[in-house]
Amino acid sequence: MSGDLGFWKYQGLGNDFVIVAEALGGEAAKALCDRRLGIGADGLLEVTRPGPDGADAAIVVWNSDGSPAQICGNGLRCAALHLTEVGHVRSPMVLATGAGPRRCMVTAHPGRGEAEVAVEMGRGCLDRAMIPVAGAGTMIEEPLEVLGHVLRLTAVGMGNPHAVTFDPVSRDDVARFGPAIERDPRFPEGVNVGFARMIDPGSMVLVVWERGAGLTGACGSGACAAAVAACSTGRAHRGSTIFVEQPGGELAVTVGPDGHVVMTGRARRVFTGTIDRPTCLVSRP
């Protein structure tokens, strides 16, 4: 396919995405997300309608390095806002993802391309085999040696793999430890790494090194994983809202008594446009 490619640029707490309405693939994601030679983004969202099994739409997530991601919390909020504005889909809606269907609700929509969106993110998983993490059982506050330092990690699956530490780490060390943990052989599919600091049982500060994207302004599934980890280690309580402050802003996360997680935060349309379709942007059959 040749010619111009239409796109929409969205951001959720500074985690930015290019949205397209067709299947393009990982090489296209690398080209479009390049901040010097392309549009620039943390990821590409392929949002197509209708979705399978009665879902309102399907969303395929590609990281900026061209690798696939099963799910992206901030991306889901952006996709839900996009569908209400462009696709004329009513809230609540169900989006099919690589991690299963997710229900999204636009809870406030003041207009001008901005909204508050709640996403039912599913149950946080602690089973190593399901996340996946090498070994058996759970990984809760387990020591891991990283570049000569020992960090205690809790592994959580949110449809994608996360490892969360509450040990004090400097911003410079996040950029060093993050990629080292992401590539540690104990995580056979790589891992998103959350560096959290509790303020009190209802609030925390979080920085996330995202698998395939690096440091980003915010990570929705990372905030959910950190909240699950906080509840699993006694730092927070199930059933209560935990406010997760990230460099890009704040998310409200509730871990229910049954482990199901709801994340609420803002999303905003940044701009729309067209871009020349390079040779790598060839739709998959």
Does position 209 have pLDDT exceeding 80, yes or no?
A: yes
- Coil, helix or strand at residue 29: helix
| CA gap 5, 9 in Å, rounded | 13
pLDDT digits (tens, 9 = 90+) for 148-184: 999 999 999 999 999 999 999 988 899 999 999 999 9
Q: What angle do CA 96, 97, 102 make, to 5 degrees?
A: 65
Phi, psi of 175 (to 5 degrees): -70, -20
Sign for the CA dihedral angle at 273, 211, 78, 205 comes to: negative
pLDDT > 60? residue 285: no
The residue length of the chain stands at 285
Give the count of beta carbons closer than 10 Å to the beta carbon of residue 267. Answer: 26
Beta-strand pair 203-210/214-215: antiparallel
User: Is the CB of residue 225 less than 8 Å from the CB of residue 234?
Assistant: no
| Amino acid code (one letter) for 245 | E
Q: Identify the pLDDT of residue 217.
A: 87
- Of the given ranges (95-104, 105-114, 229-238), which has the lowest mean pLDDT? 105-114
Average pLDDT estimate for 245-259: 95
Give the DSSP H/E element, type plus range, for residue 75: helix 73-85
- Mean residue pLDDT across the chain: 93
Instruction: Kindly indicate the confidence band of residue 197, based on its pLDDT and cuts at 50, 70 and 90.
Output: very high
Active site residue 219: yes
Question: Which entry of 33, 72, 125, 224 is annotated as an active-site residue?
Answer: 72
Rounded to an integer, the average pLDDT of 232-236 is 97
Between CA 80 and CA 153 the distance in angstroms is 32
Residue 186: pLDDT band (50, 70, 90) is very high
Please state, in angstroms and rounded to a whole number, the distance separating the CA atoms of residues 259 and 254: 9
Least confident of 10-14, 84-88, 103-107, 229-233: 84-88
Which domains, and CATH codes, for the chain? 4-117+267-276 (3.10.310.10), 125-258 (3.10.310.10)
* Alpha carbon distance 44, 41 (integer Å): 7
Give the Cα separation of 277 and 136 in Å (integer): 46
Q: What is the average per-residue pLDDT within 245-261?
A: 96
Active-site residue, from 33, 125, 219, 224? 219
Q: Is the pLDDT of residue 284 over 50?
A: no
Q: Calculate the alpha carbon distances from 184 to 80, 105, 187, 189, 202 in Å.
A: 34, 36, 6, 10, 31
